[in-house]
Amino acid sequence: MSLTAKDKSLVKAFWGKIASKSDAIGAEALGRMLVVYPQTKTYFSHWPDTSPGSAPVKKHGKTVMGALGDAVGKIDDLVGGLSALSDLHAFKLRVDPGNFKILSHNILVTLGVHFPSDFTAEVHVAVDKFLAAVAAALADKYR
Amino acid sequence: MVDWTDFERSTILDIFSKMDYDTVGPKSLARCLVVYPWTQRYFGNFGNLYNAAAIMGNPMVAAHGKVVLHGLDRALKNMDDIRGTYAELSVLHSEKLHVDPDNFRLLADCLTIVVAAQMGAAFTADVQAAFQKFLAVVVSSLGRQYH
């Protein structure tokens, strides 16, 4: 399910609209994930607090969403552009790739909450495809 | 048998009591057909589904969206035996409609996002968890009688 030219332009345009709220979106998506899918907390046993709005969640949400913003800029070659991040996830973090889908879902829910009129069905499918492509690029080095 | 906390039970009933079925039903089904286009396979006789605009404006999609959403009413009235409540509908979807049960999950995800957009900040993480738990039970029950 590769990204068409239309998908790419929809993603870029929408990301432009959400850029100013990027940190908050990342934090909220991560917070939702940790509550709605508690098994994901297993990756954060080193955090004193995994509740929504807590400092580690806010910080990490910002990191993740920032990286996604970078990925938008590399949308024409995600596997190449995310190579270092793929190394990180494959060899150091070893996050089960099933969780990429889970986080993606929570990003989509957060976008729906904050951009109810901009997050149309067409934008939704483009962003969903983009997040899936990023997930595939991150899992590229896993085995 | 599923255990519902008081919070979950009241949250779920509250969401549906305030829901605008005539908007949410059509929007959810249409979104599913756009975001997961392979689901269109079940709607060959619905006319024009050629692009997102056509799907969003299609009256048969809208009508069916309402039917499907109202299908959740029986689960709401029988939250302590959703599996039993949907046994017949599960057989129908398997034997007659031949719907891949994976599709129930796809529609549930779209419904979640439409409800999230309608409720805004009131759709907190805890509310999302309760809502998704309810839909997961429904989805599981609808897939239960497949063989």
pLDDT in tens, B82-126: 999 999 999 999 999 999 999 999 999 999 999 999 999 999 999
pLDDT band at A99 (very low <50, low <70, confident <90, very high): very high
CATH architecture, domain A5-139 = Orthogonal Bundle (1.10)
- CB contact (8 A) between residue B34 and residue A122: yes
Average pLDDT of the segment spanning A69-83:
97
Tens of pLDDT, residue by residue over A81-90, are 999 999 999 9
Complex confidence, ipTM: 0.88
| DSSP annotation string for chain A | -PPPHHHHHHHHHHHHHHGGGHHHHHHHHHHHHHHHSGGGGGGGTT-S--STT-HHHHHHHHHHHHHHHHHHHTTT-HHHHTHHHHHIIIIII---THHHHHHHHHHHHHHHHH-TTTS-HHHHHHHHHHHHHHHHHHTTT--
pLDDT of residue A62: 98
pLDDT band at A139 (very low <50, low <70, confident <90, very high): very high
Q: Report the residue from A108, A116, A122 with minimal CB separation from B52.
A: A122
> B67 at the A interface (CB within 8 A)?
no
Q: Which among A30, A37, A106, A124 is the top mutation candidate for probing chain B, defined by the most B β-carbons within 10 Å of its own β-carbon?
A: A124
Q: How close B56 comes to chain A (CA, Å)?
A: 9
| DSSP annotation string for B23-62 | HHHHHHHHHHHHHSGGGGGG-TTS---SSHHHHHH-HHHH
Q: Which of B110, B143, B118, B115 shows the shortest CA–CA distance to B128?
A: B115
Q: Which among A7, A10, A25, A36 is the top mutation candidate for probing chain B, defined by the most B β-carbons within 10 Å of its own β-carbon?
A: A36
DSSP secondary structure code for residue B139 in this structure: H
- CB contact (8 A) between residue A35 and residue B126: yes
* DSSP helix/strand/coil, B124: coil
Sign of the Cα torsion B75, B80, B83, B84 reads negative
Q: Where are the domains of chain A?
A: 5-139
- CB contact (8 A) between residue A113 and residue B117: yes
CA nearest to A125 within chain B? B35
Using a CB-CB distance cutoff of 8 angstroms, which residues of chain A are in contact with residue B117? 112-113, 116, 119
CATH of B6-146, one of 1.10.3720.10, 1.10.490.10, 3.30.450.40, 3.40.309.10: 1.10.490.10
**Is the pLDDT at A1 greater than 90, yes or no?**
no
Tens of pLDDT, residue by residue over B50-92, are 999 999 999 999 999 999 999 999 999 999 999 999 999 999 9
Q: How close A8 comes to chain B (CA, Å)?
A: 15
Q: Report the residue from A113, A119, A124 with minimal CB separation from B120.
A: A113
Q: How close B116 comes to chain A (CA, Å)?
A: 5
